[in-house]
Every structure is written in C-alpha cells, then in structure tokens.
C-alpha cells in the first residue's frame, strides 16, 4: 500500500491532481507524470463506479497514491471504493459532525468503525493479504473530509478532532459560493475561512488540503501550512491542449489564406 498518510504525517507537502474523465488511460498518464497523488472524482466526474476498478488498476504501477471522492458519507459507497483498493476516501458536502463521523466509520473495520468485512476483494489481494491489510488500515488509509459548507465552518473543531479524520480539505468553488463570493479567493470572507480551517486542523494535529485554480498560488497556501495541494484535472489538460492546438492550426490556416 502506498504511503500518502505516512508522508503527510511526516510533514511533506504533496502535489495532486483530479481525474474526472473516468478513463484508465488518462489515469495512467497523469499518475506517471510526477504527481504524489491523484483523486478519482465520483461526485462530479464523468466516470461511474464501473470505471473505478480500471482506473485503480492503471494507477497501481505509478508513483501516485489513489484517492477517491465518493458522492456521500453513506458507508455503502465508502466500502465499495476501499474494497477495490483506494488508498483513501474524500467525502464532500459535510454539514454535521455526525456526517463526518459516519464517513470515517465507513473507512475502518470494527471496533474503530463499521466497515463490512469482505476478504475476497482487490484491496486484500483477494484474500491473500487480508490480515495485514486489516491491521494496517488505521495507519495507511487516508480519511479526507471536505470543508465547503457554512455548516461545516461552524463545527470545524469538532470535525477536526474526530479520530480517523486525517485531512480537512478546502473546496474553494463550493465554499466561496456558500459564502456568497462565488470564486473570489481573495475576499476577506474566504481568507478568514481558510485561516480558521488551518487553525482547527493544527490544533487537532491534522493536515489541510486545497484544490487550486491557479498553480501560482501553491506557495501562498503551502506557507499557510496546507500540505495536500491539488491543481488541474485530466479533462482540463485534454481540453486546454486541444484548444491550444486548434488555435495554432487555425492561425496557420488563416495566415495561408
């Protein structure tokens, strides 16, 4: 199992990227490109549960750890993702401490959680490594709770203090929309929210993550103490590359005319 959780606890800053095309090919390309981690997005991405296995298989032999964002905090969604071999789970739209607690409980086996036991799954080597996998889940599986609602901001300390919550992950798009400042990351309300999230995580000994719109903001947020930093997505890379090439070709065509 890859060691993203250990690396965070040792103080490393880890660069990541979103995967939202549902493609095992782009997953392999991105995973081999130098990122520390990637996130397969089942909340907003175009891929479905059926596409997840192939993406995880493609990422297995790349350096990147594979996190998966599920659609809800329901344990059934989390079980399925982990059984397929994800290194961790991100849970969006958390509003209550009970929801964060439910999400984390779904990651871990009893007595630390409520994850159902299935030995013949990919995560355990189809039964061959179940004992070592079960023993190592607390140490190895990353629990990421997204902070992107006003309700979550009101209970930051309580969420951060939950055992098994490893990362408070800032969702800028949803959080700024909730704050009424859609996309304005320089607004005092967003700046204040980020500072509160970082403070709550630091107090509880947890890490903080964020998805950037601009890679030039990396240093600014890293200096605040944010370690799990993502920017870009496979769909963005394809779209930007296609548009840039089409623009060049059309410019050349127009010059010829």
SS3 75: helix
Q: What is the mean pLDDT of residues 155-175?
A: 97
Q: Give the tens place of pLDDT for each residue, 25-48.
A: 999 999 999 999 999 999 999 999
Span 109-153, pLDDT tens digits: 999 999 999 999 999 999 999 999 999 999 999 999 999 999 999
Q: How far is CA 62 from the centre of its chain?
A: 17
pLDDT for residue 75: 87
Over the stretch 61-79, which tens digit does the pLDDT of each residue have?
999 999 999 999 988 889 9
pLDDT at 93 exceeding the cut of 70: yes
Structure tokens at 154: 């009101």
Tell me: pLDDT of 256 over 80: no
Query: pLDDT band for position 1 (50/70/90)?
Result: low
What is the pLDDT at residue 29? 98
CATH architecture classification, 4-256:
Alpha-Beta Barrel (3.20)
Positive or negative, the Cα torsion across 205, 209, 34, 132? positive
Q: What pLDDT, on the 0 to 100 scale, is given for residue 211?
A: 97
CA distance 236 to 20: 9
Q: Does the annotation count 44 as an active-site position?
A: yes
Greatest alpha-carbon pair distance for the chain in Å reads 73
Domain ranges of the chain: 4-256
Percent of the chain with pLDDT over 70: 99
- The reported pLDDT for the residue numbered 227 is 98
pTM: 0.95
- Residue 59's pLDDT is what? 98
Active-site residue, selected from the candidate residues 44, 54, 61, 108: 44
For residue 56, the model assigns a pLDDT of 98
The two tokens of residue 135 are: 């023993």
pLDDT digits (tens, 9 = 90+) for 193-226: 999 999 999 999 999 999 999 999 999 999 999 9
């Amino acid at each position: 199992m890859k060691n993203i959780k250990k690396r965070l606890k040792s103080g490393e800053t880890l660069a990541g990227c979103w995967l939202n095309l549902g493609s095992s090919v782009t997953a392999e390309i991105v995973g081999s490109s130098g990122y520390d981690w990637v996130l397969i997005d089942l909340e907003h991405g175009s891929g479905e549960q059926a596409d997840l296995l192939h993406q995880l298989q493609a990422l297995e032999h790349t350096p990147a750890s594979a996190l998966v964002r599920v659609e809800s905090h329901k344990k059934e969604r989390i079980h399925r993702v982990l059984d397929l071999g994800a290194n961790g789970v991100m849970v969006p739209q958390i509003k209550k401490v009970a929801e964060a607690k439910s999400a984390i409980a779904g990651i871990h086996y009893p007595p630390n959680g409520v994850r159902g036991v299935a030995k013949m799954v990919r995560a355990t080597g189809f039964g061959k490594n179940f004992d070592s996998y079960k023993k190592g889940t607390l140490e190895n599986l990353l629990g990421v709770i997204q902070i992107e609602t006003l309700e979550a901001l009101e209970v930051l300390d309580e969420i951060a203090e939950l055992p098994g919550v490893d990362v408070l992950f800032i969702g800028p798009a949803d959080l700024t929309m909730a704050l009424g400042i859609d996309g304005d990351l320089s607004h005092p309300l967003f700046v204040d929210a980020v500072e509160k999230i970082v403070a709550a995580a630091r107090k509880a000994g947890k890490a903080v993550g964020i998805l950037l719109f601009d890679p030039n903001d990396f240093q600014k947020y890293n200096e605040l103490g944010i370690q799990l930093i993502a920017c870009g997505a496979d769909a963005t890379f394809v779209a930007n590359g296609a548009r840039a090439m089409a623009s060049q070709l059309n410019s050349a065509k127009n010059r010829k005319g």
